[in-house]
Amino acid sequence: MPFDFYAVVVGSGFGASVVAYRLADAGKKVCVLERGKKYPPGSFPRSPRDVARNFWDPASGLFGMFDLWSFRRFEALVSSGLGGGSLIYANVLIRKDPNWFVDEEPGGCRPWPISYDDLATHYKAVEEMLGAQRYPFDHLPYSQTPKTIAMREAAQKRGLDWYLPKLAVTFGNPHADPVPGVQIVEEPPAMYGLPRDTCRLCGECDVGCNYGSKNTLDFNYLSQSKKRGADIRTLAEVRRFERWEGGYRIDYVDHSADAEAARPTKKRDEQKHVTVTAEKLVLGAGTFGSTYLLLRNRSAFPNISPALGTRFSGNGDILSFLHQARRHVGGKSVPRWLNPGFGPVITSAIRVGDRLDGCGEEGRGLHRGWRRSAVPQLARRKQRCVRRRATCGDVRIAARTGSRTRGSTEQRQRGRRPPVRRRTEIFHLASGARHGSRRPRRPDGAQARRSRS
């Protein structure tokens, strides 16, 4: 029996969009299913009322861009829209350092299965497709960016490497000096057919760029996929999929009518369900989205490993805030205005060496010498936890981990709080259980057992 498509790709973020493009470029019939909306230039909300409704919660009539996943001691903000996470990330494109493709702990952990040379051509291809450019700090008015100047000065005082990473932002047209607010020359234009401007230095990268300066995936990979015949459907929320006739049958809810209606359809039997078939199924709905869908449909795939959704952590970011900045003028300390709203969200970076570079103390990344003077205690604890997991090569998918350990008698007598680890509970969201329940239940009804360590 013929299928509707060769491949159905669920999601439109960094993984899904590249797969869709490669398949379409190979002449395959591809369908991309994205639950969120399209966001052409000028469509990102800015008024207080619209921003308050810019969240993804179809049951409440919200079909916005931000989707907050909240667990105990773990939260993540992901994007819902054509282009996935590229709509809200900070544009930075940094290659993994060649020195870091190593076995972190020889004899104890798995080595990297690939090398930098294996990825070099792919790095280059992605940078070209995303129109990567460095912040033009040697031109006016970019050279007057206060936060960039402050970052460079901080790196110089600490003897660290400061540099301008590549950003997926258009600052200037090819063979022309960078100028803010000039129309971008592109041929052919992206899927929306609307003019785009070079970066206006407004600092709104993480809430959606209304000028089209940010080279999100809908302007490149997805536009090229559509040009090559891909069928891109938005407001198409995949709910179920199963094996069928040697391929797959995928069921999704079409939210198009609800997104325009004053009152969305809340009853399941009144929602518009659409079914498509494909020879191949690609889940690219993100860390939480793909895991959620697999767990929700695990009855159709009995061989799915019980480890699905376990043993993961966050991505190791440490978020810091700088306030009350000051500078010395004429022997006096005066306030220093860094103006975070001028320029892209991120313009420069500082690289901290470690033992693999031969210029740092024992350890990897932000380790001993740096943390004593710069990293808060709370951040240090989180960093050590993430590093322990990451270096062992066992990180799989990020959601919530866990089993609670009660601690030894000696710990309780001393009044120390024992360490807490939790089994992943994303499966109890997939099974429709109450979010705040203390002990989740698996989709098959069995209660999750607490393990002790």
Asked, for residue 289, whether it belongs to a domain, the answer is yes
CA dihedral (92, 96, 97, 102) in degrees, to 10, reads 160
Determine, yes or no, domain membership for 79: yes
Tell me how far CA of residue 299 lies from CA of 242, 295, 426, in angstroms. 9, 8, 16
- Burial class from Cβ neighbours inside 10 Å (0-12, 13-18, 19+) for residue 440 reads buried
Cβ contacts of 132 within 8 Å, gap of 6 or more: 93, 166, 167, 168, 215
pLDDT at 73: 75
Closest residue by Cα to residue 102 from 111, 94, 93:
111
Query: What is the residue range of 15's domain?
Result: 1-91+216-309
Cβ contacts of residue 148 below 8 Å, gap of 6+? 135, 137, 142, 343, 347, 348
Q: How far apart are CA 259 and CA 185, in angstroms?
A: 33
Q: Tokens 């089993």 correspond to what residue?
A: 403
Q: Which residue has the tokens 């129309």?
A: 183
Q: What is the pLDDT of residues 315-337, one digit of tens each?
A: 767 777 888 889 889 999 999 99
Overall domain count for the chain: 1
What pLDDT does 267 receive? Answer: 64
Q: What is the pLDDT of residue 366?
A: 57
CA distances to 19, 29, 427, 450 from 445, rounded to whole Å, are: 36, 39, 11, 15
Q: Answer yes or no: is 432 within a domain.
A: no
d(CA 234, CA 392): 39
pLDDT for the residue numbered 265: 61
Residue 438: per-residue pLDDT:
36
Q: Is 399 a domain residue?
A: no
pLDDT tens by residue, 230-282: 999 999 999 999 999 999 999 999 998 877 765 666 666 678 999 999 999 99
Task: Please state, in angstroms and as integers, the Cα–Cα distance from residue 305 to each residue in 122, 211, 215, following that order.
Answer: 31, 45, 37
Residue 130 tokens read as 């995303």
The pLDDT score that the predictor gives to residue 1 is: 64
167 falls within a domain = no
Q: Within its chain, how far is the Cα of 319 from the centroid?
A: 15
pLDDT at 408: 43
**What region does 131 belong to: left with phi over 0, alpha with psi -120 to 50, or beta?**
left
Residue ranges in the chain modelled with pLDDT below 70: 1, 103-111, 261-269, 316, 359-453
The answer to whether residue 441 sits within a structural domain is no
* In-domain check, residue 408: no
CATH number, domain of 244, equals 3.50.50.60
Q: Check residue 108 and give its pLDDT.
A: 53
The Cα 343–Cα 322 span in angstroms is: 17
- Cα(222)–Cα(16) distance, integer angstroms: 9
In a domain, 389, yes or no: no
Q: Could you tell me which residues come within 8 angstroms of residue 316 by beta carbon, excluding any fewer than 6 positions away?
A: 383, 386, 387, 390
Backbone angles phi, psi at 163, to 5 degrees: -155, 170
